[in-house]
Structure 1
Amino acid sequence: MSGTSVGMWLLVPGLLKLGAWDILKGWSNRMDTDIEPRLAMQLVNESAMCVNRVRRKNSLGHQGFQLLNGMGRLASDEQAHLLLNGHTVKDSYDMMLNLGMQRKLCGHYGGDIIAVDPHRILSSSKRVMSKKKKKTDAPTQKMLQTFFCVSAQTGQPIMATMSSTGMPTTKATLELISATGKIIKTPSLLVADKEHFTNGLFEEVSAHKTFDLLVPAMNTQRVKGIMQSLEYRKLDAGFALAESNFNFDGKKTKHRFIAERFGEKEYSYGAFLTTSNKAAKSLLCNDYDDRWTVEEFFRFENDMGLNRASTMNLNIRYGGLAMSMLAQAATYELRKSLSAEYKKWNARHLADEVLAWNDGDIRVKDDTIIVTLYGHSDYLKTEEFINLPQKLMQKNIDPHIPWLYNYKLDFRFK
């Protein structure tokens, strides 16, 4: 079979390493011979291709994409809708939890800093619903809220949750932290933005055995007064720090308040609240800067389906988010085998250059599917894909692909 989407087969080794088939079977509550996990696999691969509803592109139906999912055809819109709507929010939540645990075993997370951030997606839903501002100077709009925890060292998502705009940020973040704690068992610092400057969040995290929290303080008149009244210790030219205790209005619990002052004669100030005992300079000058990795994650991976919210049916949207998270994990495994400066490639660039539009052919020899990619492949460490079954066995990974009826996979490059 000749086709132009044969690059998608490069994701299969990563999916095997992640145990993707078992994760999808657990989500769908089906067995190896059932169709539902294969329909889910198509949704995963659609996300990796950074296109919405590949099943509308009939030209792909005879170019190997359907075989990649273990099927002889593409799933229809109705099948995809019924599959996602037939599974609950909890099913997809548990799937992402299982994926996060597997990614932890695969070494996708490192360091002891976790960036936390909401990611709000504009929605075209016709429902009557609460509206929020995506930016302070923007009009209120319908949107879907997603909340992510991302490893600051590797930039990889640990866990995600989702809600309508009516859900308060504090409540949604506490649910996210609770789920993240089931994946990350080592002491870590959560870094977040100003909207997490709430008493409810600090009360809960203060009692948490694993996590500490660091957020900027809201620039209220009370906070301004505290910052300007403190005695500062000069550390560098134009930079000084001071500390105090802070309690939210009407609350007795004291939290650690760190203020920073900039300038020599005319000053500007900033302030943070934390539950951590680490040195103040390290927290503000090193650790908090790592929060921007979550923004980089959104910028790089948005096109994998993290920027779509056409419906507010949370069963469907949660299922779509779970499939996108699995696709993102598989592409991260593939990125390890890229010889080019892959850090400059966002998800769409990766899909266009490597996955979606490469010429090649697919054939079967004995018990092995052989995929041949033609043309330029300098971006790939091709030696990692040649004799793939043997290389997988050396890593203690079973080379048989269960959704492809236990065939093995190998590659050729010409």
Structure 2
Amino acid sequence: MVCLSGLPFICSPVTENRFFNQIPTAHSEEFLLEMGKRQKQLGYLKGNIVNTDSHSIRSFSRMHMPKSYLSKEKIYDKSIRTFWTQDQETKNPIFLKASYSGTTVSMAVPDLMDKTLQILQNPFLSAMDKEHFVGTLLSQLDEKGIRVILPIRNSDKRLKEMEAIDASQFTQRFEGRRLADVFTYLKDYPDPLRFLVLKVREDGETKYVGFITNDVNMTPRALLKIYRKRWRIENLFSEGDFLGFNLLVSTNLNAITANLALKLMAFNLMSAFRNDLGGEFLSMTPDLVHRHFLRNVQGKVKLHGDYIRVDVFGFEHQDAVRPLLDNLQAKLLKNGLDPRIPWLNNHKICFRFM
């Protein structure tokens, strides 16, 4: 309920900034690793197909930094670049890294993939966008045993290459479009790559769409179906906006990483909650779950000495929640947990249902 109601956001910006800035990046990444491994053990990560993408968070800081393109706002501005992996089947996030703008995928993705491998403990296929169309990067991923599927970058050279494919090689179909399964070469990548080319008739013209992959076993149709679900990671960024994914607490990367790690934990808690409820809740976004359970709830938050007291009035689901939150301090101490909340000035918290 605390995660749903957004209680962590009531502390002052100064307290929040001080709390997150004291956490080293290595500690936050270790937390993400352990949380990811636990997610895998519980079955919330399947680990066979991984979506990989970058996401820019707009910064209003006075700090000088290169500008990058913000797709949501459709402008160039200062931003923090984050790099994410997501389990395609469960739609849950796996790991993230925060970097300053100007950081390329070649700089960030190898370590991101190493951390993802540590969590999943098995090789996987990653669906990526064309920003990852870099020979040196794909060569590194190949050495790690990671298979990829991604679109090519459009260029006159690639267009001529696709136009030169003989019609007899378009022997397959995907969603009504002719499909060729051939090979191509990429600068700084040592071996030939499978080249999946779709021939598309659009507005009376013939157009080509190309994808490359280092997978040698899956059928072209299976690979393209996997790539089509890469957009699930874009939906993750959209859903996470409700949980504050696009809010920065600092310009320091250690603070940003710590803050995003806790927000990712909140997303995982919400995902587990939806999974336990089942049915219609499985497809609900975090804001819809919040609305469903907390609409029309009246409450009051007041500081009493060392305690933050939350009075909740007329909550229809209180019979389910009360056993979890009654005598909360004693329950935390029994489990060896400090009941003080660092980002709320080390106050303890108690709930009353009235």
| Same fold (TM > 0.5) | yes
* Counterparts in 2 of 1:304 and 1:375: CA distance versus 1, 3 Å: closer
3-state SS of 2:51 partner: strand
Residue correspondences, number:
327
1:216 aligns with 2:154: no
State how 1:125-144 maps to structure 2 within 5 Å. Answer: 125-135=61-71, 138-144=74-80
1:177 aligns with 2:133: no
- Cα distance in 1 for partners of 2:226, 2:333 equals 41
State how 1:1-400 maps to structure 2 within 5 Å. Answer: 7-8=1-2, 45=3, 48-50=4-6, 53-55=9-11, 76-110=12-46, 112-135=48-71, 138-209=74-145, 211-230=146-165, 231-235=169-173, 238-249=176-187, 252-263=190-201, 266-277=205-216, 278-284=218-224, 286-309=225-248, 311-338=250-277, 341-354=280-293, 358-359=297-298, 374-377=314-317, 400=334
Q: Is 1:49–1:348's contact at 8 Å kept on the other side of the alignment?
A: no
Q: Percent identity?
A: 23
RMSD (Å) for aligned C-alpha atoms: 3.6
**Offset at 1:83?**
2.1
Q: Is 1:302–1:347's contact at 8 Å kept on the other side of the alignment?
A: no
- Cα distance in 2 for partners of 1:372, 1:114 equals 41
* Bigger strand share: 2
**Offset at 1:226?**
1.5
Q: Is 2:117–2:123's contact at 8 Å kept on the other side of the alignment?
A: no
Q: Is 2:136–2:189's contact at 8 Å kept on the other side of the alignment?
A: no
Gaps of 5+ in 1: 1-6, 9-44, 56-75, 362-370, 390-397, 406-410
- Cα distance in 2 for partners of 1:181, 1:247 equals 27
- Cα distance in 1 for partners of 2:69, 2:299 equals 46
**What whole-Å deviation, never above 9, does each CA across 1:313-338 have from its counterpart, x for those lacking one?**
11211110111111111222222343
Q: Is 1:238–1:262's contact at 8 Å kept on the other side of the alignment?
A: no
- Cα distance in 2 for partners of 1:350, 1:154 equals 17
Partner residue, 1:403: 337
* Counterparts in 2 of 1:149 and 1:251: CA distance versus 1, 3 Å: closer
- Cα distance in 2 for partners of 1:326, 1:260 equals 40
**Offset at 1:303?**
2.0
Gaps of 5+ in 2: 301-310, 326-331, 340-350
- Cα distance in 2 for partners of 1:156, 1:257 equals 29
Q: Is 2:17–2:249's contact at 8 Å kept on the other side of the alignment?
A: no
- Letter of the 1:269 partner, please give it: Y
- Cα distance in 1 for partners of 2:5, 2:82 equals 21
3-state SS of 1:226 partner: helix
* Counterparts in 2 of 1:357 and 1:198: CA distance versus 1, 3 Å: farther
- Cα distance in 1 for partners of 2:336, 2:13 equals 25
TM-score between both structures, scaled by the size of structure 1? 0.69
3-state SS of 2:91 partner: coil
Greater RCO, 1 or 2 (C-alpha within 8 Å, sep 6+): 1
**Offset at 1:240?**
1.7
